[in-house]
Amino acid sequence: MIKPHGSDELNPLFVYDTEKHEALSKEAETLPSLLLSSSAAGNAVMLGAGYYNPLTGFMNIADAISCAEKMVTTDGVFFPVPVLNLTEKAEGFAVGDRIALRDPNVDDNPVLAVQTVTAIENVSDEQMALMTNKVYRTNDPEHPGVAAFNAQGQVAVSGPIEVLNFSYFQSEFPDTFRTAVEIRNEIQEHGWKKIVAFQTRNPMHRAHEELCKMAMEGVGADGCIIHMLLGKLKPGDIPAPVRDASIRKMAELYFPPNSVMITGYGFDMLYAGPREAVLHALFRQNMGATHFIIGRDHAGVGDYYGAFDAQTIFDEEVPAGSLDIEIFNADHTAYSKKLNKVVMMRDVTDHTKDDFILLSGTAVREMLGDGKAPPPEFSRPEVAQILMDYYQSLN
C-alpha cells in the first residue's frame, strides 16, 4: 500500500489505548480550557484521524509562515497550508502548561483534545495578511475562507496534541465518517492495490459519476473512494445528510458491486482553490489512495481562481517528490447529445456548446425547488428525487 506522507507508518493523534484515554479524559477536566474556533476544531479532528500525518500538533508562527510561503515547515516537512490554533486571547495558561481544547461545535463544549503548549505568539497584521494572500491568493474579506481564517483571532497557541474524540462527525455520520486509519484498513480488506479518490462537497450528478468511472478505467483502479466533506460549508451548500443519501443511492444503483467506498471526513472547507487541492491530495495519500481526481475549479469559490489552477499548481509550485499520490487531471465533463454519453469536453473537439447538455448550478437548484427533475442525462432520477425532496422542504 502507498506510504503515508512523511513517515513509513501512519501516526494518528487520537488516543486509542483505553487506559490512556480514560486517564487523559480525567486529567483534561482539571486543566485550563481553551474554546477552539471551528477551524481549529476541524484541524484537531484531522490530526486525530491521521489525515494530517506527519504533523504532531498545531504549528508555531515560523512553521505557519514557512508553509504559507514555501509549502514546507522550517524542518523541511512538506505541508501546503498553515495548521494553526488561533484564538482572540490566551489567558489562564502559559508556555509549558497542558490545556484542554474544547469543542465549539458540540453542546456543552466537551474536551476535544489536550495540548501541551510550546509557544503563545501574537500574530501581526502583516503576518496574517501574508498567510492569507499566499494560501487563498486574495485578501478579499468577501472570500468565505479568507473571512473564516481572519475571524479566529491573532494569538497562536502551538504545540503537540492528543485527541480524545472526533467531535460531532462520528455521532452524526456513523455510516460515513472514517478516519484515515479506518480507510486504510478497509482498502486492505477489499484487497485493492490501485485506488482512485474523489473529493466532493456537493451531490454527484451524472458527470461526476462518469468521471469516477473514467478515472478508474484510465488508471486501471481496483476501486474508487468517494470522500465527502462533512464539516462546515458556506451558506447555500447542500447539507451533508442530503449529499450522503444521494451519493449512496447513485453508488448502489450505478456502480459495479464492491467497486466503490462511500466515506467522509470532518473538516471545515477552506475554499482555497489550488492550495486546498494540494492539501486534499495529501489527505488522500494518508488514507491510502494511489490516485486523486482533480477537476475544473477544484475547491474554488466565485471567480478567485482559474479553471485549472488546481491542476497546474502540482507542476508549477509543488516541489518535486513532495507527494507519492498521482493526480488524475480531469476536464469539465458533460453529456454529449452527439455521442449519447458523458465525455470530457477537451476530448471532443468537434463539439459546439449546443452539442452538450449544460445546466448551471442556479438552474438546477431552481428546477429541483420547483419539483422538476433535471434531464436524466444530467442527473440520475433517483438522485434527483432525493434532492427535490430536500429543496421542496425549504419552501
| pLDDT score at 182 | 97
Cα 355 to chain centroid distance, Å, stands at 34
- Residues 25, 138 within the same domain: yes
Residues 101 and 208 in one domain: no
Give the burial string for 188-197 (b: 16+ CB within 10 Å, else e). Answer: eeeebeebbb
Indicate whether 4 belongs to any domain: no
Of the residues 122, 146, 166, which one is the last residue of a structural domain? 166
Q: What percent of the chain has pLDDT over 90?
A: 82
DSSP 8-state class, residue 375: P
Q: What is the pLDDT of residue 46?
A: 97
- Give the mean model confidence (pLDDT) for residues 280-306: 95
**Residue 195, in any domain of the structure:** yes
Residues 150 and 185 in one domain: no
Please check whether residues 224 and 129 belong to one and the same domain.
no
Residues 137 and 194 grouped into a single domain: no
CATH code for the domain in which residue 175 is found? 3.40.50.620
The answer to whether residue 8 is domain-embedded is no
Residue 9 domain flag: no
* pLDDT tops 90 at residue 241: no
Does residue 340 share a domain with residue 219? yes
Give the pLDDT score at 71.
98
Spatial separation of the C-alpha atoms in residues 385 and 380, rounded to whole Å: 9
Amino acid at 114: V
Q: How many domains does the chain have?
A: 2
CA–CA separation, 341 vs 337, rounded Å? 7
- Out of 11, 202, 296, 365, the active site residue is 202
Told to judge if 185 belongs to the known catalytic residues of this protein, a careful annotator would answer no
Identify whether 2 is part of a domain.
no
Which of 133, 166, 199 is the last residue before a domain boundary? 166
Q: At what angle do helices 309-316 and 274-286 cross, to 10 degrees?
A: 70
Task: Say whether both 159 and 241 belong to one domain.
Answer: no
Residue carrying C-alpha cell 514546507: 72
Which residue range forms the structural domain that includes residue 119? Answer: 18-166
Model confidence over 131-174: pLDDT tens digits? 999 999 999 999 999 999 999 999 999 999 999 999 999 998 99
Contact 241, 386 (CB under 8 A): no
Residue 129 lies in a domain: yes
pLDDT confidence of 24, banded at 50, 70, 90? very high
Question: Residue 233's pLDDT band (boundaries 50, 70, 90)?
Answer: low
Do residues 143 and 285 both lie within one domain? no
CB within 8 A of 149, min separation 6: which ones? Answer: 39, 131, 132, 135, 136, 270
Does residue 92 lie in a domain region?
Answer: yes
Model pLDDT, residue 187 = 97
- pLDDT at residue 238 in the model: 84
* Shared-domain flag, residues 122 and 179: no
**What confidence tens digit (pLDDT) does each residue in 347-388 have?**
999 999 899 988 777 788 888 888 999 999 889 999 999 999
The CA distance from 141 to 150, in Å, is 8
**Residue 130 sits in the same domain as residue 178:** no
Domain end call among 149, 166, 183: 166
pLDDT of residue 361: 72
Q: Does the residue 7 lie in any domain?
A: no
Q: Are residues 146 and 197 in the same domain?
A: no
Given 98, 201, 248, 365, which residue is catalytic?
201
pLDDT digit string (tens) for 304-331?
A: 999 999 999 999 999 999 999 999 999 8
**Is 275 within 8 Å of 81 (Cβ atoms)?**
yes
Are 215 and 284 in the same domain?
yes
Quick check: is 296 catalytic? no
DSSP per position, 23-78 = HHHHHHTTS-EEEPPHHHHHHHHHHHHTTTTT--EE--HHHHHHHHHHSB-TT--B
Q: 3-class SS at 362?
A: helix
